[in-house]
Structure 1
């Protein structure tokens, strides 16, 4: 008897990367298209935490100062922001970069995502990722602030100790045997479909769909995926 068709997709991401927010939206569009074309395919998407700046101080650093230092001029910053905002609009997202004051250390936020997966399952983790993307890129909230993270978790109906709103030290460590800290130096977003070479960048839905169909055409049933943060579509 033939095994059912399946795809296992790993996505490296960080919460302060606008291309990751755009890439997530594109991936979800591609998955919806795949479900229409191949309703027989079971898809698991694992979100792999890849903090870009894990050594930043807990309070973060000024976002505008960082952007100027990285791009060299106010003009270059404005040009880059316009490019990103245009790409986001094509995905149905309206970014508000002018509201961002802090470039945060996102390790604590990624620990919260790991807790969301452990406490609320795959759908809860994905919902929290969306909530944190929106908090940062639409409202300019500081993702290094435990109060912001606690409020996001409550908004996603996660079980959170009410007395712990200002201290999330109880969260599970991000760096563990089942969810290693993949760390800085790796580009995000990146998509690995059934173990194929990574696809880098916020690719449009059509490109992701074509990559999924190619993986299916290779007709090699995916081995059971390792544990991780996942959303499942069928």
Structure 2
């Protein structure tokens, strides 16, 4: 668990009977580099907000949103996919440079050259659902962060159940329950690669944050901007 997740755990452990609650719904997918930046900025925003509003308890609910549900279960060649999607190697390089610059501001050093497979993210999302059903909020946040960093910083194929097992164990999931879950994931996998996403027609892309069901931010924003939206949601 990293420092930001420890802070998140401390903030989420207060007595709801004595403190107001700010509910944040965070929609994400693991193949989106902006989601890693968005999560890190959200972590920073929560710390900033907690300093100014210790009377408010922050609760984060992570919502799965598959961007490319039709991706084959075994994945696709990553580099070729983005070259075809953007039209040229030059266009890919320009897009990655933009993401790299934004990542540096959030303390993230992307390693796109290490990525070989564009994975189907259904199994990774289902692993997060397992953690949510058996762990606490901090464990879920730590697992999401670990899956994102494994993919974007280490180039691991997070569509591979053996890799998901190792990452789940790293984040403290119980071994037998984890193995049984991944066996079931393989057996029950939808051949189209799609999982049942959280239904919200207003979400067309990720990251997407909803604050107290009344305020929302779509895309990447600075920690200051996110904290400001949190303050508005509480005031409203």
Are residues 215 and 62 of structure 1, via their aligned partners in 2, closer, same or farther at CA, if it must alter by over 3 Å? Answer: same
SS in 2 for 1:46: strand
Aligned residues: 213
The answer to which of 120-129 and 74-83 deviates more is 120-129
Q: Write out per-residue CA displacement over residues 116-138 of structure 1, whole angstroms, 9 at most, x where no aligned residue.
A: 11122212111111110111000
What's the Cα RMSD here? 2.4
Aligned pairs (5 A) from 1:121-200 = 121-161=136-176, 164=179, 168-171=182-185, 180=198, 186-200=204-218
SS in 2 for 1:35: helix
For residues 199 and 156 of structure 2, what CA distance do their matches in structure 1 show?
Answer: 24
Shift of 1:8: 0.6
Shift of 1:5: 2.4
For residues 36 and 199 of structure 2, what CA distance do their matches in structure 1 show?
Answer: 20
For residues 199 and 29 of structure 2, what CA distance do their matches in structure 1 show?
Answer: 12
RCO higher in structure (CA 8 A, sep ≥6): 1
Q: Which runs of 5+ in 1 are unaligned?
A: 219-234
Q: TM-score, normalised by structure 2?
A: 0.83
CA contact (8 A) 2:34 2:220 kept: yes
SS in 2 for 1:92: coil
Q: Write out per-residue CA displacement over residues 51-105 of structure 1, whole angstroms, 9 at most, x where no aligned residue.
A: 1111211111111111011111100100111110110110011110110111100
CA contact (8 A) 1:11 1:190 kept: yes
1:103 aligns to 2:118 (yes or no): yes
Moved over 4 A (4+): 171-176
Q: TM-score, normalised by structure 1?
A: 0.84
CA contact (8 A) 1:50 1:186 kept: no
| Larger proportion of helix | 2
> Please, which of 41, 52, 75 is the counterpart of residue 26 of structure 1?
41
> Please, which of 198, 205, 226 is the counterpart of residue 208 of structure 1?
226
CA contact (8 A) 1:104 1:142 kept: yes
